Structure 1
């Protein structure tokens, strides 16, 4: 149960990060910087969490391979 909750949390944070990158790409609008300041300590923590969650989601590839067998 704990692993499933951790994965959904990581997925949610990664989706939020992806939406932020989409806003940067399409509209040149950095929502994190707008809300928390450009490279403030809170912004750095948010960017770090998004990166860590993205790395955690790499385990989805190994799980999808084992389910298809």
Structure 2
């Protein structure tokens, strides 16, 4: 489970960096590398979204660890 958590966190961090680049410099790294909304870029966006949803469970784990 720890490996899955690290992979999910890494993917979400990559997504966050991409959004930071979009916000600060209007530069979409995923679109630059893989093309604008190509099937590969759509898979990357989907993976970032799925990992983000998975990491929502961390909030529950934080609350459980404090009890």
Q: TM-score range by the shorter chain?
A: over 0.9
Structure 2 gaps, min length 5:
none
User: Aligned pair count?
Assistant: 67
Q: CA RMSD in A?
A: 0.4
User: Which position in structure 1 is the counterpart of 2:57?
Assistant: 59
User: Superposed, which structure 2 residues align to 1:4-23 within 5 Å?
Assistant: 4-23=2-21
Alpha-carbon deviation of 1:50?
A: 0.1
TM-score (normalizing by structure 1) = 0.96
User: Which digits, 9 at most, give the CA deviation of each residue in 1:1-54, with x for residues without a partner?
Assistant: xx1110110000000000000000000000000000000000000000000000
Structure 1 gaps, min length 5:
none
